[in-house]
Amino acid sequence: MQAVDSRFLHNGPQPLPPEHRMSDVPLDRLTSETAPPAPPNVMIIFGAGGDLTKRKLIPALFHLCQGQLLPDTFAVVGLDRLEMDDTAFRTLMAQEVEKHLGASWDRATWDRLSERLHYMQGNIKEEDTYVALCERLTRIDAERDTEGNYLFYLAVPPSLFGDITRHLGTVGLTAETPDDWRRVIIEKPFGQDVQSAKALNGLLHETLDEEQIYRIDHYLGKETVQNIMVFRFSNGFIEPLWNRQHIDHIQITVAESVGVEHRGEYYEQAGALRDMIPNHLLVLLGFLAMEPPNSFDSEAVRDEINKVLDAVCPLTHEQVLTNAVRGQYGEGIMPSGEKVPSYRSSTGVSPQSGRETYAALKLTMDTWRWAGVPFYLRTGKRLAAQYTEVVIQFKRAPKIMFKDADVEQMTPDMLVLRIQPNEGIQMSFGAKIPGPQMRVGRVNMDFCYADYFGNAPATGYETLIYDCMHGDATLFKHADTVEKGWEIVESVMDVWTALPARDFPNYAAGTWGPAAAGRLLKNDGRLWRRIEMPQGRV
């Protein structure tokens, strides 16, 4: 954006003195003081030996336990191929969870959770496993009063979803009664395109009702993503401005400084577009663009999000050439000074790979509220910062009244919703620079989550698991939402497949992506917001 008077640059969040904090708002995060404990249930984790279980799921259960949000009538059954008994599983999880949680780990909470952890060795593809699981669950119900409520968490590759749900159905574990519930959580990728997403949904629906399926998009578990709705619909002053009359355009940036790490093989199939846009970035778009729902019931909220996705104008094949940009990183130097190799030299990646590690799109929406307002989306690996934000760029004032003001400085007002890190909201606007002359500087008003609510440790899975136990699907994706997400990017995938990129790699690691992404906005007379990280400008 335009130059800012350096005296007005924000120097990072300053904690507010207690007397300036709002005292009439509940500042507690999710704890038993603000929410009831989950109902009795057993959580069965398929793929209990995997990364997700130790890095996210058990740590999230630990935090729920710490907040007194798990009842005594709760148990976990971890299921995997490895030979292990309950004691060995508990010891393994203790080591891993302590390592991942660091300071938030405490022995008393762990002891309470640990004695509820069970393990079962079994082959996911064999029916015997499910017969044994049935018997195990019946015993646990009797011992722990878990009342036959089961949450099946499929922490396994999607190719196994169909096998697992079919077997669960065969042995009667998915059948609900008025007294007990059966729910299944799955994680992305939900297919690779519209067709495969429909096939996957069809497979799941053979055994499960849509209401039993909880599709996780971990972006929906992020507090700041949920806060977009609260910010819009609980503040009377915002909503009147939230439309094409006042908003010039919206930018959504999900930048990652990491590379593809150990996931080269997966990434070669997926790429930045499939990996991030139909899911995480469109979740953000949904919350930003939705109409106020009639209530915060899951159906009402999910309907409004689906309406947004319906209204996004899919790019024609011709428009893909001008409104979509792809990139792949070459070697480069990260802002930390670390020299990193190119994508093509990552393990599992072809040395001639044509897979994109960066994608940017310009989308528009065919609605009364958003007609003519572009939404610019960008995401990529090995960019200059690990940073996610939404920028709402307001229209310029209709007339420059201050004759002597430096017109260069009269940049439009901007609202920045920082999703991560340093979660918060920043309003940037013009203010008079003190002195005899009429000079205008940019100033920032900044709200940082941590100042008000502290830094409660969380993996992002706590709310999602807790909501699923309560049967609240608001933060989970409906089958339709998944399919609509794929429809929006389908033409881009078609064109990119048909016309392999000739200029890859086209950006150096540690930069902000390919030059063409800048031109995507420049052609419209706009610029990506220049992102400032707390440690300095990048």
Show which residues are catalytic. Answer: 280
- Minimum CB–partner distance for residue 342 and ligand BG6 (Å): 17
What part of residues 382-401 is at the interface with ligand BG6 (CB under 6 A)? 388
Distance of CA 120 to the CA centre of its chain: 31
The number of helices, as runs of H, and strands, as runs of E, in the chain is 16, 20
CB-wise, 84 or 282, nearer to ligand BG6?
Answer: 282
- Minimum CB–partner distance for residue 359 and ligand BG6 (Å): 12
- Minimum CB–partner distance for residue 218 and ligand BG6 (Å): 6
- Minimum CB–partner distance for residue 457 and ligand BG6 (Å): 15
- The residue nearest ligand BG6 at its CB is 275
Burial class of 5 by CB neighbour count within 10 A (0 to 12, 13 to 18, 19+) = middle
Tell me phi and psi for residue 199, to 5 degrees: -60, -45
The one among 275, 423, 446, 462 contacting ligand BG6 by CB under 6 A: 275
Are the C-beta atoms of 42 and 137 separated by less than 8 Å?
yes
The strand order across the sheet containing 150-154 reads 117-121, 74-80, 41-46, 150-154, 182-187, 213-216
One-letter amino acid at 21 equals R
The one among 223, 256, 413, 446 contacting ligand BG6 by CB under 6 A: 256
Size of interface with ligand BG6, in residues (CB under 6 A): 4
What part of residues 163-202 is at the interface with ligand BG6 (CB under 6 A)? none
What part of residues 213-242 is at the interface with ligand BG6 (CB under 6 A)? 218
Q: Which pair of structure tokens corresponds to residue 52?
A: 């997700």
Q: Which pair of structure tokens corresponds to residue 45?
A: 């984790």
- Minimum CB–partner distance for residue 95 and ligand BG6 (Å): 24
Instruction: Select from 263, 279, 57 the least CA-distant residue to 155.
Output: 57
Q: Does 421 sit behind a cis peptide bond, omega within 30 degrees of 0 on the bond before it?
A: yes
What's the rounded Cα separation, in Å, for the pair 298 and 213?
13
* Residue found by looking up tokens 């949680």 in the block: 101
Q: What is the 3-state secondary structure (H, E, C) of 82-105?
A: CCCCHHHHHHHHHHHHHHHHHHHC
- Minimum CB–partner distance for residue 102 and ligand BG6 (Å): 18
Binding mask 12-51 for ligand BG6 (x = CB under 6 A): ----------------------------------------
- Cβ burial 119-151 (10 Å sphere, 16+ → b, else e): bbbbebeeeebbebbeebbeebbeebebebbbb
Residue 423 touches ligand BG6, criterion: CB under 6 A: no
Kindly list the residues in this chain that would bind ligand BG6 in the complex (CB under 6 A): 218, 256, 275, 388
